[in-house]
Amino acid sequence: MTASLHALGLGASAGAYYTNDPYRETQNRDDYYARDGGGVWWSPSGTVVRHGAPIDLRSFRELCAGLDPRTGKALVRGAGEAHRAGWDITFNCPKSFSILWAGAGLELRKELETVQAAAVDEALGFLVEEGLVEVRLGAGGRIKQPAAGLIVGRFSHYTSRAGDPNVHTHCTIMNVAVSNDGKLRTLETYNLHAKCHLLGVAYRAALSARLADAFGFEARPAGRGQFEIRGVPQTALDAFSKRSKELEAALAGGRAGSSSAQKEVATLSTRGAKADLPTGPELEARWRGEMEVLGIDPWDAARHPERDRAAEQERIPEVPFDPPEVQGTTPAQLAASHLFRHETVIDRTAWLERALVEASLQSIPIAAVRAEMAELERDGTLLRLPGPETAPRWTTPALASVEAALLRAADRPDVSSRIDAAALAAAFAAAPELSIEQRAAVEHAAAPGGVAVIEAGAGTGKTTIASVLVDAATRSGIKVIGLAPSWVAAGELGASTAIPAQAIARWRHDLARGQGPALDADTLIILDEAGMVGTRDMEAVLTAAAEAGARVVALGDRRQLAAVAGASPLRAVVDVLGRHATLGEVRRQTVSWQRAASVLMARGEVEDGLRAYGRHGRLLMVSGPTAARERVIALWTEARVRHGDDGVIIATRENRDATALNAGARVVLRQEGKLGAADRMVQVRDRDDKPRDLALAIGDRLRFGETLSQHGIRNGTRGTVTAIGPDDAGELRLAVHLEDGRRVEDALSGFAPGRERRGRAAGALPRITHAYAGTVYAAQGRTVAEAVLYVGSATDARDVYVGLTHHRRDATVIVERDRLEAAVRVSQSDPRLHPSDAELQERLYVESRRYGEKRNVVDHVEDRAAFVRTGTLPSPCPEQRLDVRRGFEAGRRLGAVLRELAAAPSLMLVQVVRLAQGVERGLASRAQDIAAYLRAPTLPAAVDRPQPRMERDRSGPDLSR
């Protein structure tokens, strides 16, 4: 159930599918249940066609060619057979809806069809209101503005090409639309392509609300933002999804792991003719027979949702350390809280989209969601940030205060270093291998100041300088502790520097309870992987250090993986401090061109670095996910011969790809005799806390996905299975040899946290995975001899940079070719043409340019000094912008009037008088507005009086710029 989008062809022939094929087939073949057969126009403006009028073949085809069906004349420039006909948006109902439709009588079917039609109407109205489709004006169509009115042909269909009930509506948006000036123009659909998912969730929210109103149905989550009608069993959904199974077979990677372009290509390649299906009465009989075999009455099931609720497994959610940013259970509140777990600044599209997903599960209409969003801004729950009205962004008062607090804690230039010169000299003498760049970085960290930042690219010797800094601090009698965003990174830091190191989450937990190491002026905190530290974690560390007088040295790289929680606090800290040390000389890679590629990527030129791998034959494209993953496993197997099992890493973007690669690696290991003869299937939890089966055998390498204090196991710890089997009482037990040398044995259930921790029920399933392949996040901080990076889905600069800088000797990139080919083909004028390898590589290079930079609150603040000092934001004022286009238009109209006056001098006096009268009326109206504003009982604080510009404090940076 979704809204899918694809472009139509050129000219009148593009309309044949809608007016010939499915509609005539439907009317002739199954008129028994789709008597109305033909399409209707949706065009509230009524400019060219009448809203709600039936569609006939001739008028539809002429509009596809950009011609007026009444006169045959061109409506827009370029009309004719070379005119782009339009775009098709298909609104697919949930499968449970279609099953209810198939199991209903004529009256109930009509009611369901009315609900679907109303939801589609609401979605089309949403499309116009949100400005998702624009018209093109000016020379070359360079000027874009939201369309004022659309012409849409609506066609209702009721079966899939596999003969299953499938209620869906095709909405063909004609490439002719009304602009604000009343003229007809062609369309620009960039926004629609970019925000098609938003349109889909709006449709689902509208449909869910109308189903609740009309029938009292409840919605249940169906994954990926979808819903199904509660009560209709999953067995029925599976049985009536034959077309989905065809697509699954065509998409070797599965629908969930395929891009929209791949799905479109697969849909076209597997499409059969509906004429080959049985007629209406035969289909009806087949559906009734399938329901009898399944033993279901869908209407009875949907009318008794309490049975479904009782059968669902109750799951107690995890309780996060930080409470939700926005309290409440309404769609807008839940959506904002969800987004603020990963961001400190959210935009309207993301907030609205997530709120509509929540609304579809609660059967709340779109209008109520919009009203609630506005109310959350009015009551101050969310703060609107300064910026353009067309792209609003928000934060919360608490997040703004936290960000200001961390910046205040970072700006402590007068704190003494306490690392004396003699100790620093001795540490340098003990590390003669340091380069000039590394020595300068250590000197920067040892200089006065409460916080020092060292930006160290991958493989530049960050752990080396950390060890020298620890040596100098220890010689000076300073206590050093290590913190990192994950236990894996903390373990690496502790092992390389011989200092106690913790994950920040654990340190904050201990700090809140008065436990853990005490901080004072003789404490140095080394904060590793600082680029991955979230806003609240960064604030906790810097504030605690400031209160105790301790110093912090942050080591990280803003261009590697971003923080999972919060925004980009390291970037904000660097901006406030105004200076930092940088390590740019790569030392990890032994091959010169790979070192050069790593340097380029550390500088932000990831595309150039990836091109180097392409030029040296280390970028291979393989068709099909299965074949591509097999190639990855083959390379991994060869590299293990050279470097051993621990000397090679497989990294990828998606967890589903890591799962498939782990399965392939286990096949090889079993052939090599490194795994036990028999697998034990155990139930574990995945990263979304959902149960799944995992095959385990003696010799398997595992990765623990959470901290287990009862065993001293940290999140990310790896180990090898040494024994697995039932004990005398029949309970399955597991023994694991951990990477730190310890052996841990317990019942399988003993590898899950207990009731007292994070609010989970006792007996919860363990969170473990195989450790042969992992995501780039899971592999962060590891260094190996060789690496294989698998690109099976859309990637970005951060993933490529991290994936290609783990290794010392060599690295290879394996790219699944079909995804890239589908993406290139759907953007071609003729999608039947197969692109070349060079074109596919260019598509990959485009992806590698993209950096998903998270926004900080301070990025949107004009008076940074005032924000850092107070942690509050001024009331937003209407933005004054220079509108060049309107200026030119005003000048053009003035010139036209002057020419008219010059041509008729006798009219000049009359025109001038009228002009003066108009100006007088405008000034009077404006004066009344200003008087009313001044008479208001309260004025926004931001406009009470002009604020003096802050003078720069000599002890700190110039925050006012």
The yes/no answer on whether domain 404-583 falls in CATH 3.50.50.60 is no
Q: List pLDDT tens digits, range 831-847.
A: 667 788 888 999 999 99
Q: Is the pLDDT of residue 915 over 80?
A: no
Q: Is the pLDDT of residue 153 over 70?
A: yes
Query: pLDDT tier at 822 (50, 70, 90 boundaries)?
Result: confident
In the three-class reduction of DSSP (H, G, I as helix; E, B as strand; rest coil), residue 420 is classed as coil
Report which of 838, 849, 784 is spatially closest to residue 812, judged by C-alpha positions: 784
Q: List pLDDT tens digits, range 57-79.
A: 888 889 989 999 989 999 998 88
Q: Is the pLDDT of residue 56 over 90?
A: no
pLDDT at 576: 83
959 burial (CB, 10 Å; 0-12 / 13-18 / 19+) is buried
Comparison of pLDDT for 859 and 944, the residue scoring more: 859
Comparison of pLDDT for 781 and 873, the residue scoring more: 873
**Edge-to-edge strand order for the sheet containing 807-816?**
619-622, 807-816, 784-791, 648-652, 773-775
Of 20-24, 235-239, 721-725, the range with the lowest mean pLDDT is: 20-24
CB 442 within 8 A of CB 434: yes
Return phi, psi of residue 464, to 5°. -65, -45
Report the mean per-residue pLDDT for the chain: 83
* DSSP designation for 500: -
Question: What is the pTM (predicted TM-score) of this model?
Answer: 0.78
Query: pLDDT tier at 922 (50, 70, 90 boundaries)?
Result: low
pLDDT at 643: 93
Among the ranges 35-39, 257-261, 596-600, 860-864, which has the highest mean pLDDT value? 596-600
The H-or-E segment that residue 227 falls in is strand 227-229
* Mean pLDDT within 870-888: 63
Domain boundaries, the chain: 3-311, 331-395, 404-583, 605-847
Q: List pLDDT tens digits, range 293-320.
A: 888 899 999 998 887 765 555 444 555 6
Burial 214-230 (b: 16+ CB within 10 A, else e): ebebbbbebeebbbbbb
3-state secondary structure 624-692: CHHHHHHHHHHHHHHHHHHHCHHHEEEEECCHHHHHHHHHHHHHHHHHCCCCCCCCEEEEEECCCCCEE
pLDDT at 124: 94
930 burial (CB, 10 Å; 0-12 / 13-18 / 19+) is exposed
Q: Is the pLDDT of residue 99 over 90?
A: yes
Q: List pLDDT tens digits, range 798-812.
A: 999 999 998 999 999
